[in-house]
Amino acid sequence: MSIIERAASRLEHKTEAPVPAGATEAQAAPTVVGTAAPAAAAAAPAVPPAPAVPEATAAPEVPAAGEPGAPAAARPGGQRRVELDLKHMHEIGLVTAAGGRTMLVEDFRIIKRPLIKRAFAPRPPGDKPGNLIMMTSSLPGEGKTFCSINLAMSIAMELDHTVLLVDADVARPSVLRTLGLPAERGLMDILLDDKLDMSDVMLRTNVPTLSILPAGTSNPRATELLASQAMSSFVHEIAHRYPDRIVIFDSPPLLLTSEAHVLASHMGQIVVVVEAERTTQHAVKESLTQLEGLPNVNLIYNKTREFPGTETYDYHYG
């Protein structure tokens, strides 16, 4: 059975499963279905729902220095530091270290473990670095940015690893918006300007082990930039500069843009977020067809209906 047939079979099984009595939309949450590659399926925890974040209509233009609303200039000799409102993040359903032992925190602990293991496992010559992880979906609104941020925050709790969260949804970036931060220069600007250094655009946060790279200035040739030698050099640098670093790319949806397929070609691991009771089997099949031949493709089944209770965990195996 192909990876597409197995994924569709799992999706059909989950769709037809009865909804527990008393379950409501407010209890919808992602579930890891497991790997879509020929390997043993991973454990699948249920997690609380993604917060409702309005869809961006386009990448905002970054104001020039000195203009109203322009981001603060980078400090000489170092990266900019931004303050994440951790209390607000917890309130809207995002993982924080101070949030306690909630179902959300525990579920992303389960989700991250096999990804971390593969990130630093020996790999055959020619394989892409496993510490480059792309989070994507078939369509907008399935919760990929929610999962990207939560995965990054969970990995940031690790004692032996650091994490860089890259907003690679260059047409409709939403990482900074979700975190309440203004638009900044970022990935697109680095690829266009070889004189621009990572330290000029990367944002350090008040979570010491977490940094963020914004999407940057909107560009009509985004697909070509992501397919360029500059992008290959960039991903090689960030994959190898720090031996303890995991890099998470919040990607565009697979079925709406050409950027996602190009971005996937640089990745060592790919996670496809599938929204329960909304994303069709046809859409999942199309998405996995685009990823056919790429290693370590996994699924997160998002917004599943589960019994209420933040201290109860439900694991599923694909």
Which domains are seen in the chain, by residue range? Answer: 3-17+25-52+84-317 (3.40.50.300)
pLDDT at 314: 31
Instruction: Kindly write down the DSSP assignment for every residue of 55-90, as one continuous string.
Output: PPSSPPPPPPTTSTTPPPPPPTTS-EEE---HHHHH
Report which secondary-structure segment, H or E, holds 238.
Answer: helix 229-240
Residue 291 near residue 264 (C-beta atoms within 8 A) = yes
Whole-angstrom CA distances from 23 to 7, 68, 206 are 25, 47, 37
What number of helices (H) and strands (E) belong to the chain? Answer: 11, 11
pLDDT at 277: 82
Name the pLDDT band for 36 (thresholds 50, 70, 90): low
Name the pLDDT band for 69 (thresholds 50, 70, 90): very low
More confident residue, 73 or 109: 109
User: Whole-number mean pLDDT of the chain?
Assistant: 80
Share of the chain above pLDDT 90, in %: 62
Least confident of 99-108, 293-302, 308-317: 308-317
Name the pLDDT band for 61 (thresholds 50, 70, 90): very low
Phi, psi of 105 (to 5 degrees): -60, -45
Q: What is the mean pLDDT of residues 148-152?
A: 98
- Give SS3 for 226: helix
pLDDT at 173: 96
Cα 152 to Cα 167: distance, rounded to the nearest angstrom: 12
Least confident of 38-47, 99-108, 111-120: 38-47
- Given a cut of 70, whether residue 8 has pLDDT beyond it is no
Name the pLDDT band for 304 (thresholds 50, 70, 90): low
For residue 150, what are the contacts with CB-CB under 8 A and spacing of at least 6? 47, 94, 95, 104, 108
More confident residue, 260 or 312: 260
More confident residue, 199 or 228: 228
- Given a cut of 90, whether residue 132 has pLDDT beyond it is yes
Name the pLDDT band for 78 (thresholds 50, 70, 90): low
- Given a cut of 60, whether residue 282 has pLDDT beyond it is yes
Q: What is the mean pLDDT of residues 283-287?
A: 95
- Given a cut of 90, whether residue 313 has pLDDT beyond it is no
More confident residue, 129 or 30: 129
Q: How many residues does the chain have?
A: 318
Name the pLDDT band for 107 (thresholds 50, 70, 90): confident
pLDDT at 30: 59
pLDDT at 216: 97
